[in-house]
Structure 1
Amino acid sequence: MPYDEADHVFNIALNLLASGNCLEHIEVRRQDEAYLSAVGADRIPDPTTEGDFCRRFVTADVLHLMNAFNRVRAKVWKQQLDDFFDCAVIKGDGTQIETSAEKK
């Protein structure tokens, strides 16, 4: 039975919430029985399947997703108190990390 789009999006989002920072980390989640039980799944898509899903997106799809995030963000910001916007601090350490991407 193939996964639907919601399964892919949910899987990628939960991977991020579980401290995964790349699709390859999904493989760790696939082997973790406690994780699968917590998300109510017998199985989740593997990293290769998620990569195939992501490659189906064209520019218009990405823009549509970004616009959806921006609409939600604007609604959330409108609910904040004024002092929420007083100061923002962004900290960065300049660390560079090698990627494991490969060109086919």
Structure 2
Amino acid sequence: MSVDTATVAKIASLARIKVNEAEIEAMVPELNGILAWVEQLGEVDVTGVEPMTAVIENHQRLRNDVVGADPLTGGGVRDAVLANAPAAEHGFFGVPKVIE
């Protein structure tokens, strides 16, 4: 794939980037070099390589999603929490209306 000045101007317009003619001329070989490098990556043999999301294996440490009476898990203390609210309505925090 090859990029010309019209393509660079179109890309700049779509990206809402103001560039002058000299900058467009300078970007043509840069973008062509980038596209050539991407095409070169397509030649790499990746058979047998599993897709990965990161270079390092990351595993999330999850906890059970349980609601209990323990204040640390947040269960059974709704009334105590709402006692600190400036306004409580139907078991929820009351907030002022912000949309007219």
Structure with a larger share of its residues in helix: 1
Higher normalized contact order (CA 8 Å, seq sep 6+, divided by chain length):
1
Query: What TM-score, normalized by structure 2, do the two folds share?
Result: 0.22
